[in-house]
Amino acid sequence: MTGFPTDHPIPPKPSQWHFPALTELTDEDDLIAVGADLEPGTLLSAYGSGFFPMPVNRRQMGWFSPNRRGVLLPVDLKITRSLRRSMRRYRVTVNEAFDEVLAGCADPARPQGWIDHRIAKAYRQLHLMGWVHSIEVWDDEGLAGGLYGVGLAGLFAGESMFHRRVDASKVALVHLVQLVGTDPGVLIDVQWLTPHLASLGATECSRATYAQHLAAALDRTEPFSLPPHVAIEG
């Protein structure tokens, strides 16, 4: 790490690219467009419009808006008894080791890995500007897991999570919910629903319903703000 995000993110230069409104999309495919760039202004414009990038090959970047979107409304979070026990085993920090979390998420040994050097460079830049945050989960052996994502008004767009020890990524998500709060309008976007996320209370919604959730999150007059650097005891 060469620095930490501030409480006041640095505004990016406006993007030259335009993202359509989700209500204008009629195609059921998750992949909506290919091209553009990964400049900070483009990325923030994409998240504010309901899109996120993933490489489609070594040269081209795809822009996705899943027809069935995975979301976690903080009030729906489920914490099992075994997960509560796991939470007591770990120490959690915020924005303390972003590069380590990014490397863990980008580990080429992981199945279906998609984080390449383009994605890593772009999100590291947004992190240093104060828009991207990491949650780190530690034990006596070191970094046990974590997650990172984009914070925009009342939206936290989760990009990736990983674990090296049991329940470590789940603990990261629980602490994220505790940080962003459960007020109406707060939205955690998880992109696609998985059994892992469903066990924590995430659900699936239509693109139209996601557009409503997103509008409410972006309209929050008091957006949540993750601290630039904090430690949380389990």
Q: Tell me, what CATH number does 102's domain have?
A: 3.40.630.70
pTM above 0.85, yes or no: yes
39 is a domain residue? no
88 is a domain residue? yes
pLDDT band at 168 (very low <50, low <70, confident <90, very high): very high
112 is a domain residue? yes
216 is a domain residue? yes
| pLDDT tens-digit readout, 15-39 | 999 999 999 999 899 999 999 999 9
User: For residue 27, what pLDDT is reported?
Assistant: 87
Residue 153 amino acid letter: A
94 is a domain residue? yes
Residue keyed to tokens 């690219």: 17
Query: Among positive and negative, which fits the CA dihedral 31, 36, 37, 41?
Result: negative
60 is a domain residue? no
Q: Residue by residue, what is the 3-state secondary structure of 80-147? A: CHHHHHHHCCCEEEECCCHHHHHHHHCCCCCCCCCCCHHHHHHHHHHHHHCCEEEEEEEECCEEEEEE
User: For residue 91, what pLDDT is reported?
Assistant: 97
Structure tokens at 140: 């006596």
User: For residue 58, what pLDDT is reported?
Assistant: 84
- CA dist 135 and 75 (Å) reads 19
Domain span at 134: 69-233
Residue 123 amino acid letter: Y
**Is the pLDDT score of 200 beyond 80?**
yes
**Is the pLDDT score of 231 beyond 70?**
no
CB 115 within 8 A of CB 100: no
CB 187 within 8 A of CB 213: yes
**Is the pLDDT score of 4 beyond 90?**
no
Residue keyed to tokens 């999309």: 25
What's the domain count of the chain? Answer: 1
Residue 211, CA atoms < 13 Å, CB-side half-sphere: 12
150 is a domain residue? yes
**Is the pLDDT score of 112 beyond 90?**
no
202 is a domain residue? yes
pLDDT band at 1 (very low <50, low <70, confident <90, very high): very low
User: For residue 2, what pLDDT is reported?
Assistant: 34
Q: Which residue has the higher pLDDT, 59 or 48?
A: 48
Per-residue buried b or exposed e for 213-226, using 16+ beta carbons within 10 Å of the residue's own CB = bbebbbebeebbbb
DSSP strand pairing (68-72 vs 203-206) = antiparallel
Q: What is the overall mean pLDDT for the chain?
A: 92
Residue keyed to tokens 């996601």: 210
User: For residue 3, what pLDDT is reported?
Assistant: 47
Q: Which residue has the higher pLDDT, 81 or 230?
A: 81
What is the crossing angle of helices 98-105 and 117-129, to 10°?
Answer: 150
Q: Which residues contact 88 (CB under 8 A, 6 or more apart)?
A: 234
